[in-house]
Copies of this chain bind each other. A is one copy, B any other.
Amino acid sequence: MRQRKYDLITFGEAMLRLSPPDFHRLEQANWLEVKVGGGELNVAVAAARLGLKCAWVSALPDNPLGRIVINKVREQGIDTSYILLSLKGRQGLYFVEFGASPRASQVLYDRQYSSVSMIKPADVAWDRILSQAKAFHVSGITPALSESAAETTLAALKSAKENGCVVSYDLNYRSKLWATPEANKCQAPMMDYVDILITTEEDTHKVFGLKGKNYEDTARKLADKFGFKAVTVTLRGDVSVLKNTWTSIAFSKGKIYSDKIYDVEIIDRIGAGDSFSAGFIYGYLNGGVQKGLQYGNALAALKHSIPGDFCWSDIKEVEAQIQGANLRIMR
Contacts and interface: CB of A to CB of B under 8 A. Distances in A.
Given A26-B64, A27-B68, A100-B267, A327 B108 contact: no
B241 A102 contact: no
Interface stretch (A72-80, A132-140, A222-230, A251-259): A72-80
Contacts of A34: 29-32
B265 A241 contact: yes
Contacts of A307: 22-24, 28
Contacts of A53: none
Given A34-B30, A64-B26, A103 B306 contact: yes
A138 to B, nearest CB: 18
B110 A112 contact: no
Contacts of A33: 30-31
A64 B20 CA distance: 12
Size band of the interface chain A makes with B: 35 or more
A77 B75 contact: no
Contact of A104 (B76, B103, B266, B325): B325
A130 interface: no
Interface stretch (A144-152, A159-167, A278-286, A297-305): A297-305
Contacts of A72: 75
A263 B240 CA distance: 8
B31 A330 contact: no
13 contacts: A18-B32, A22-B307, A23-B268, A64-B95, A65-B95, A65-B108, A100-B266, A100-B267, A100-B304, A101-B263, A102-B264, A106-B331, A107-B330
Interface of A: 18, 21-34, 63-65, 67-68, 71-72, 74-77, 80, 90-91, 93, 95, 97, 99-110, 112-113, 174-176, 236, 238, 240-242, 262-270, 301-302, 304-308, 312-313, 317, 321, 325-331
